[in-house]
Structure 1
């Protein structure tokens, strides 16, 4: 494994083969880890996670195509996203790396590992949506989301129903929705605001296109069979109080031949925020074994 601290270009944009600029940075010391943020259509909000791992690994972050500080240019597809992730890997001079993906980023990291297993030394799959069809869990998620919004539900529904939102309204809607991802309601809005600061705006076209493609792949025999062939070690992490149903990850765990799974009892969708010590210990142990 190449140690990322001695290779690549820190804080210099990577360029995909079609010329699109991808923001990326790195920090820390040790074996390389590349983070894949959630969304789709959001940007890297994993700076606190990178900081928690920086004593154990060289952590590489990036904004996906069309998001945040990367160039707002398509096309948007899973294949293009996998190719962009490979661009980031090569930009930093990494032969092999651990991938850590969160939410949609976990699904992107899984697709990359399925396509390029020889370039991945381990996969940390955090709060992803698994490989089952969305119809098996989507209704429960939406019900849990509304319950999690509590007193903010009416305002969220008002903003959700608007065919067009101003920039300020879009940010308010996003902050309200993200606040439901925290298990501990006290301070959830403040944490959601901090996670979306600085605010770069949601790329709605990216979100819709990639969500549709992930939805078409989910539940297919081909995806399950590919997971059954994957020999990369995988660590599945989830919060017990995530509003996404826990059963989403059961079939993924069953399909993978080399898998561990940890559930953080006091956490929601962002377990490194609500159980930082336990999260750091589990991920650190996995990195030591890969």
Structure 2
């Protein structure tokens, strides 16, 4: 599909049920919801965000532009009002979209997001290094060198193993298949803009949000879950589900529990 500023986005609809629009993590990565199974009830609307994966490799990379792209995907699939499911950075993007267009979002599923503030990063770094264990030396070596494409993938897989409590190698390999170049420009630009947004502004905006929100946390996520507490407190209509013994990608580690949480929250047709 083509956005209003002429950028080509890859998008796909999987399944035949009710539509749910998915926003993947990153920034600068691509859709990894090919392993997401919500059963026959839902049709997954998936897409690669601009500059990444199978979408056109060009910006601009701003929060406003990314929100507009979410709306373009919704409109491109002929949807008036739709539930949105976002993971990690995509959870923040889904939240920003709901704040901008609440009349177009019937519900938000906020999966493994990092909340509204930025003081979680030091604890995350400590948890990450501890989770890497003896892989840390190779990860640091790759980080410091000029990498070819095979080494880029190796670095990502090493990094992603820390996001899981068990079977990290297998799950990280699944996330890296298929593999596309990471868009570091998009990652840097969007991360900087997010850090520049004061938490108090987002809290005030969330207090006025009438869209029902489900927050799903893996209790063992290396991103500290207390970082999401201010978001939970600010939302007028919120449900929070914590999955014990689960890391950053709960639909891979506990697919049944994850699916049950989503299905219980979203109203049936």
Q: Normalised by the shorter chain, which TM-score bucket? A: over 0.9
- For the residue of structure 2 that corresponds to 1:268, the secondary structure is coil
Counterparts of 1:212 and 1:171 in 2: how far apart (Å)? 24
Instruction: Please list, as runs of the form range in 1=range in 2, the aligned pairs for 1:124-273 lying within 5 A after superposition.
Output: 124-132=109-117, 134=118, 136-162=119-145, 164-184=146-166, 187-219=167-199, 221-273=200-252
Counterparts of 1:216 and 1:159 in 2: how far apart (Å)? 29
Shift of 1:161: 2.3
CA RMSD of aligned residues (A): 1.1
Counterparts of 2:262 and 2:211 in 1: how far apart (Å)? 16
Counterparts of 1:264 and 1:118 in 2: how far apart (Å)? 30
Q: Structure 1 length as normaliser, TM-score? A: 0.90
Counterparts of 2:174 and 2:46 in 1: how far apart (Å)? 18
1:66 aligns with 2:51: yes
Q: Alignment partner for residue 35 of structure 2, among 48, 52, 58? A: 48
Shift of 1:55: 0.7
Change (3 A) 1:57 1:218: farther
Counterparts of 2:229 and 2:16 in 1: how far apart (Å)? 34
The answer to whether the 8 A contact 2:171-2:252 is kept is: no
Shift of 1:284: 0.8
Shift of 1:30: 2.6
Shift of 1:110: 0.2
1:93 aligns with 2:81: no
Counterparts of 1:108 and 1:75 in 2: how far apart (Å)? 16
- CA offsets, 1:186-221, max 9 Å, x none? x311210111111111001011001111111152x2
Shift of 1:18: 1.3
Shift of 1:144: 0.4
Runs of 5+ unmatched residues, structure 2: none
The answer to whether the 8 A contact 2:67-2:97 is kept is: yes
The answer to whether the 8 A contact 1:28-1:53 is kept is: no
- For the residue of structure 2 that corresponds to 1:22, the secondary structure is coil
Equivalence for 1:10: none
Counterparts of 2:132 and 2:224 in 1: how far apart (Å)? 16
- For the residue of structure 2 that corresponds to 1:230, the secondary structure is coil
Counterparts of 1:265 and 1:58 in 2: how far apart (Å)? 28
- CA offsets, 1:120-172, max 9 Å, x none? 0000000001001x1x211100000001111101111111223x322121111
Counterparts of 1:238 and 1:160 in 2: how far apart (Å)? 29
**Which one is further off, 27-36 or 233-242?**
27-36
- For the residue of structure 1 that corresponds to 2:266, the secondary structure is helix
The answer to whether the 8 A contact 1:29-1:54 is kept is: no
Counterparts of 2:130 and 2:101 in 1: how far apart (Å)? 40
Shift of 1:29: 2.7
- For the residue of structure 2 that corresponds to 1:85, the secondary structure is helix
